[in-house]
Structure 1
């Protein structure tokens, strides 16, 4: 099936020159006369089968898929909304606090259907933003270097491990740099509200020289190679698609954050009708099964996860996320974070 779709898709990847470095890569699918522009934070390789299938079902379209970093995509979408550039036909981002901001700023087009109305309330807002995926934030570890009781299955266990053996973990704990990653900031913000362990975790990260970095691929690759023993708050979908046997994942037993990537039809989109069709397709059983294969839809209720229902914490698409972008709140969290990681770099 994938081979047949790939044959249909006219696909290429290209790293763009410095002036457009925020746009990481581009791919095209289909060969129709009508252009359709999708901007997303999701790696092209992960979403390719789904978008290729959509292009196959809509042969009049040529779908251009632009892959962006979350902060850069937010800045571009905000500028477009203000009349500063060519508006995308659809935007799909993991940094859902930024998507809520865009909707609140009247940057979205409304759409409603039985499929969107069937979504849980936590995954839709004002008929202008929809959560398409279900992805947990996980603890990742190197299976060759940690085993059995050494593997922390909660934040409390991770804290105990860092306190008991700081030299073992020095420089070998990784997480997102929340100043660079909108997704990383969202997870840190959710932790700061949810976890009594948040302050202690920052202190522990500082003591063991934890590493803050931008990207899921770098973090997961570092764990696989053994440069990092543990990575914290990594989006589970990227682990599922990029990792091998040397990388294990834990759904933290104290609580596991669950993200639904947000889909929005920008105000002024030239092909809003086709954007609605893409949303409808993403919510079909066919596309949801493909997304599950790609690691973007996890069955959090499956018995094998071992996760109690009370430990599942969905990040809802609500105006409450706007607090995460409040200038003072954001500055306070970034200051706490940077202070911890500045101390982490001191020998």
Structure 2
């Protein structure tokens, strides 16, 4: 076994118990491997669970063994708040909370990546050369097979609404979705769907009447579905569901046929990054054909690189689902979702509809 492999196996998984509650996180640490040339460091803050990010980190570390690599896994809002409190702490930020990432770049917090690969990255998947979408992840439902056997197939948002309206009592307390007030990703999906579907608010009201539980992460929802505390999950990250439910035949992943939001994880290098050269190397790796091939082969995140067409890629998913896929647009429109008055208005209506009683 080579020294590189021995060090890779010594990768440390640390649960940071001493951090303040708001910033508690899991950390992966890949130590620098002794050898020729100067050692460096790289700190990545991401809202991306460890099983998904690990193949990318390991591949990068194999190619850059002299870089000590530290990855902190945070929730979307915790990541954003931590950056605002300590803008020089991390070298790269990765998050699926697209409006928050866009705001950071728009407010001047991101450094530009001046490489040929950055210039060639698809225009729909980047903003200037400061913010890069690196994944293509549909938002899905997860349904227990017993629900399908008893009440019929669930293929669309309309089917879900009909299920909740007709059989809400049978499903009371057994449905789960994001809490848009506490989850950046959940809020993003809520505002996008409120624009996209004229029946969205009917669905929110039906979720409320069914006494749906509200969660902060897809991971929480999946655990409840696996344990069968929940029978239906709405608006989960499809990438996490595919990865977690491989050995759960009683749970079916549903990519809605009427429309399916697609989120993308956005990567940026903070302007005050403590290790800018290492940050450039990592971001360059994320959008390279090599890095994207790792993403397509070893994760369920969906690669974007235009040269990749096979399984695990955006191109493949577009061939399968066509116009039903509705990627969230990476552009100035994201800022409107963070306007304080608009945000408060949406959350106020969401709470009102969710707590609305039948006939009122």
Question: Does the TM-score normalized on the shorter chain lie above 0.5?
Answer: yes
Contact 1:137 1:251 in 2 (8 A): yes
Structure 1 position 46 matched with structure 2 position 52: yes
- Aligned partner (choices 261, 264, 277) of residue 260 of structure 1: 264
Structure 2 unmatched runs, 5+:
34-38, 303-311
Match of 2:160 in 1: 158
Report the secondary structure of 1:13's partner residue.
strand
CA pair 132-161 structure 1, distance change in 2 beyond 3 A: same
CA pair 246-286 structure 1, distance change in 2 beyond 3 A: farther
CA pair 242-184 structure 1, distance change in 2 beyond 3 A: same
Residues 292-336 of structure 1 show CA distances to partners (whole Å, capped at 9, x for unaligned) of 3311114455479852x2211111221110111100111011112
Structure 1 unmatched runs, 5+:
none
How many aligned positions are there? 338
Shift of 1:4: 4.7
Structure 1 position 329 matched with structure 2 position 329: no
Residues 48-101 of structure 1 show CA distances to partners (whole Å, capped at 9, x for unaligned) of 1210111111122001101111111111222334xxxx3311111111110000
CA distance in structure 1 between the aligned counterparts of 2:241 and 2:330, rounded to whole angstroms: 24
Shift of 1:276: 1.6
Contact 1:206 1:343 in 2 (8 A): yes
Runs of 4+ in structure 1 deviating by more than 3 angstroms, as ranges, are 3-9, 298-306, 340-344
CA distance in structure 2 between the aligned counterparts of 1:145 and 1:7, rounded to whole angstroms: 44
Report the secondary structure of 2:148's partner residue.
coil
Match of 2:329 in 1: 316
Match of 2:79 in 1: 73
CA distance in structure 2 between the aligned counterparts of 1:127 and 1:320, rounded to whole angstroms: 18
CA distance in structure 1 between the aligned counterparts of 2:82 and 2:191, rounded to whole angstroms: 23
Match of 1:10 in 2: 11
TM-score when scaled to structure 2? Answer: 0.87
Shift of 1:12: 1.5
CA pair 146-6 structure 1, distance change in 2 beyond 3 A: farther
CA pair 304-268 structure 1, distance change in 2 beyond 3 A: closer
Greater Cα shift, 69-78 or 334-343: 334-343
CA distance in structure 2 between the aligned counterparts of 1:196 and 1:137, rounded to whole angstroms: 18
CA distance in structure 2 between the aligned counterparts of 1:231 and 1:264, rounded to whole angstroms: 31
Greater Cα shift, 7-16 or 94-103: 7-16
- Kindly report which structure 2 residues correspond to 1:77-226, keeping only aligned pairs within 5 A, or say none: 77-81=83-87, 86-147=88-149, 150-226=152-228
CA distance in structure 2 between the aligned counterparts of 1:203 and 1:178, rounded to whole angstroms: 14
Shift of 1:120: 2.3
CA distance in structure 2 between the aligned counterparts of 1:261 and 1:304, rounded to whole angstroms: 18
